[in-house]
Amino acid sequence: MKLPGASEFRKALESETAALLDGVLDAAESRELAVYAVGGPVRDLVLGKQVNDVDLLVEGDDAVALATLAAPPDARVTSHDRFGTVQLRAGAASIDISGVRHETYAHVGALPRVEPGSLVEDLARRDFTVNALALPLSSRALREHSGIVDLADGITDLNGGDLRILHSRSFHDDPTRVLRAARLGPRLGLSLTRGSRTALRDALRDGVFGRVSGDRLRRELVKIFDDARLGLDPSKVFRLLANWHVLGALEPGLDLPRAAVVPLRRLGRAIAAPPWRSGRWRSWVSGLNIWLAPASPALRRRTLQRFSVRGEVARSIGAFSKSSAGWMNALLRARGRGAIDAALAPLSEEELYSLYSLADPKLRRRIARFALEDRMRRVPLKGEDLLAIGLEGPALGRVLNRVRIAYLDGALRDRDEAIALAREIARQRGTSKPKASGRGGRR
């Protein structure tokens, strides 16, 4: 099999990213530096998959100096000093550059101590053989290595569908790699090898997760749902983690409930091909809503603590199981688009996606129609119209909500009809004068 080289790598990139890479390589030529693409992007290129992130390694010089030299005028250079890595961004394009380094771990679960090292040492500190790959890009790198540097037969593993750790203590060094294995395996179509599963069992036996912080675990959870955009089914990741007895090791009693499997898969599809347009939303929160809904309130609370989910997000995930039953009921009983809108309007985008993923086809259609069309529609009324009727405060909100329901149900055509209805409701309720209590309307 012919392996891809530097020109195939460049061709696999978006044009903006390719231009940024050209700048880095020109700067590397002028200083005779050896530059390699490394890890995920090389693996994805060999697999013939889309190359998303560009990670570069530079030998024999400081990554910050190279990035600064290569940066076009509109670019931003951000340095992450602790690891000697630097990010170069211009427009939508971004490239990460690191100096080759050697890592040691003070204790299980700790962040690594990083020192300058050789290319081989840099590849050897990585998680899986399929990631211990480097593709020479600059002339100096190409003089040293004519093709892909493959430290541990990663290409054979890619072809054989194997996900294999580089050494038997890899999960001890960094237990979050277990979560990476459960995510990368199904995403890339690879299975964890028997030897790596033995190493995983040993790591669990040694209680490696005990010293991993909730923040690091949560960041891995976030990536599971982020990767759904690449076609990953999140339920497969949780299934693997459950089969490997990892969930129970993270928090006693934690599992993948049967009721969560199909909704998690559906959520994954909705992330990959959104049924409606959304602003920024946190897909992992929707995922946790679904995953933890069938658990007992105590287990849910402990799990959220374990993943260091705090504040309002923790409160809403904790309450989702109960609230979603109420929303589902309201949705089922709703007669007309106005009532559906009134039932769904209070939900956050995360809750809406969770509810959609849990619903049957009929209720999914209702949710999608609300999210796609109805929530964007505005009642043909102005605030001053209501003030002119003598409405204010909470009473104004309540009347407006009723007018909105009638409007979405198609019972009103224009502003005059809306004003007439508002006046009629206010008259019936005797609410032309404001009351002191009650909830306000939402728009």
Cβ nearer to ligand CTP, comparing 204 with 292: 204
Cβ nearer to ligand CTP, comparing 117 with 336: 117
Cβ nearer to ligand CTP, comparing 56 with 293: 56
Cβ at position 174, least distance to ligand CTP in Å: 5
Cβ nearer to ligand CTP, comparing 3 with 230: 230
Contact in structure between 432 and 389 (CB atoms under 8 Å): yes
Cβ nearer to ligand CTP, comparing 132 with 367: 132
Contact in structure between 36 and 56 (CB atoms under 8 Å): yes
Cβ atoms within 10 A of the Cβ of 53, count? 12
Cβ at position 47, least distance to ligand CTP in Å: 11
Cβ nearer to ligand CTP, comparing 178 with 261: 178
Contact in structure between 78 and 89 (CB atoms under 8 Å): yes
Give burial (CB, 10 Å; 0-12/13-18/19+) of 376.
exposed
**Interacting residues with ligand CTP (CB under 6 A):** 39-40, 53, 55, 126-127, 131, 174, 176-177, 180
Cβ at position 78, least distance to ligand CTP in Å: 16
Cβ at position 3, least distance to ligand CTP in Å: 18
Cβ atoms within 10 A of the Cβ of 80, count? 13
Instruction: Please identify the residue of the shown chain whose CB is closest to the bound ligand CTP.
Output: 40
Cβ nearer to ligand CTP, comparing 50 with 198: 50
Cβ nearer to ligand CTP, comparing 155 with 260: 155
Cβ at position 160, least distance to ligand CTP in Å: 18
Cβ at position 180, least distance to ligand CTP in Å: 6
Q: Which pair of structure tokens corresponds to residue 54? A: 């560009």
Report the distance separating Cα 27 and Cα 404, nearest Å: 61
Cβ at position 223, least distance to ligand CTP in Å: 7
Cβ nearer to ligand CTP, comparing 179 with 389: 179
